[in-house]
Amino acid sequence: MFERFLPTPSSSSIELGSVTLHYYALCILLGIISALAISSVRWRKSGGITSELYDLAIYVIPAGIIGGRIYHVLTTPELYFGSQGHLANAFKIWEGGMGIWGAVALGVLVAYLYFQRRDRTITFALALDAVAPGILVAQAIGRWGNWFNHELFGGPTSLPWALKIPFADRPLGYERFATFQPTFLYESLWCLFCAGLILLLPRFRSLQPGNTFLLYIFLYCAGRIWIEALRIDRAHLLWGIRINVWVALVCGIVSLLFIRKRERSYTAEAEGMGTITA
């Protein structure tokens, strides 16, 4: 009988002489390149100069990687501290473990400080809007690194697109199950869908500068909530719910409230100017 499932890669790295290339790191690198390519087009359409984007990327990309790793380390401290932890492993990002919340937070902070110290051809808000879909595409590509590492999958399932996990990588208590929910795939597809939605949005509605980036936060969080709830990897809980679900819920609600408030303020201001002009 023909079995239908997604296979898992037999290796998470490739040896090129004395150099070891980890697929997880390569996925992140490919995501960064794709994000820059998409963002450069939108940056120019917003009135900016492409060289500014690459200048900003020199600071933001390392900040994003550091922020993402810090978030992961702080939310799973038992892996790196204490008698059972190994602090040196905190620097092995190729083994997985990047929290998007920390990456975006520190990346945005560094970008804000960058714009405060330099005069640019576009505003900080327009810059955030320009890079929003590119970040989503980078996340979509980066999630495939979890596939190579055999990690962050969901509960057992017999769906045709189920992910087959080797016995050695199955969580405790799930050894008798062979196929699981491919949550990395769900998140990758969700990110691509959200990126497409943001790219098409200007055809139907114009948002106040900065709100496109907030929309990215809301859309990603909306998908992350249900995707995160499917996962069965070890995670800290708060009132019986995974920490990342709470973070997605709070960030999603806050971003939506900010969008509503800023759009209403923008509309009221525009109407007021129209009344004065009349």
CA gap 16, 1 in Å, rounded: 38
Residue 234 belongs to what domain range? 16-277
Please report whether residue 118 resides in a domain: yes
Q: Does 24 reside within a domain? A: yes
Q: Which string of DSSP letters, residue by residue, matches 5-33?
A: -B---S-SEEEETTEEEEHHHHHHHHHHH
Residue the block writes with tokens 């790793």: 69
Q: What is the pLDDT of residue 276?
A: 37
Domain assignment present for residue 236? The answer is yes
Residue 136 tokens read as 């989503």
pLDDT the model gives residue 269: 54
Residue 172 lies in a domain: yes
- The DSSP bridge partners found for residue 179 are 164
Residues in Cβ contact with 224 at an 8 Å cutoff, skipping those fewer than 6 apart: 187, 244, 248
Q: Half-sphere exposure of 232 toward its Cβ, with a 13 Å CA cutoff?
A: 19
Helices 100-117, 50-75: axis angle to 10 degrees equals 140
The answer to whether the Cα torsion of 124, 130, 132, 137 is positive or negative is negative
SS3 state of residue 246: helix
* pLDDT for position 90: 75
- Name residue 65's beta-bridge partners: none
**How confident is the prediction along the chain (278 residues), in pLDDT tens digits per residue?**
445 788 999 888 888 888 888 899 999 999 999 999 999 999 999 999 999 999 999 999 999 999 999 998 888 888 787 777 677 777 777 666 788 999 999 999 999 999 998 778 899 999 999 999 999 999 999 999 999 999 989 999 999 999 999 999 999 999 999 999 999 999 999 999 999 999 999 888 888 999 999 999 999 999 999 999 999 988 888 899 999 999 999 999 999 999 999 888 765 554 444 433 33
**Three-state SS for 166?**
coil
Q: Considering its fold, how many domains does the chain have in total?
A: 1
Q: Are strands 237-238 and 241-242 parallel, antiparallel or unpaired?
A: antiparallel
Q: Where are the beta strands (DSSP E) in the chain?
A: 13-16, 19-22, 163-164, 179-180, 237-238, 241-242
Residue 9 lies in a domain: no
**Residue 268: how many other CB atoms lie within 10 Å:** 10
- Look at residue 266 in the predicted model and tell me its pLDDT: 60
**Do residues 14 and 170 lie in contact, with contact meaning Cβ atoms separated by under 8 Å?**
no
- pTM comes to 0.89
Q: Which residue has the tokens 């759009």?
A: 263
122/164 Cα distance (integer angstroms): 47
Residue 104 lies in a domain: yes
In a domain, residue 173? The reply is: yes
Residue 3 lies in a domain: no
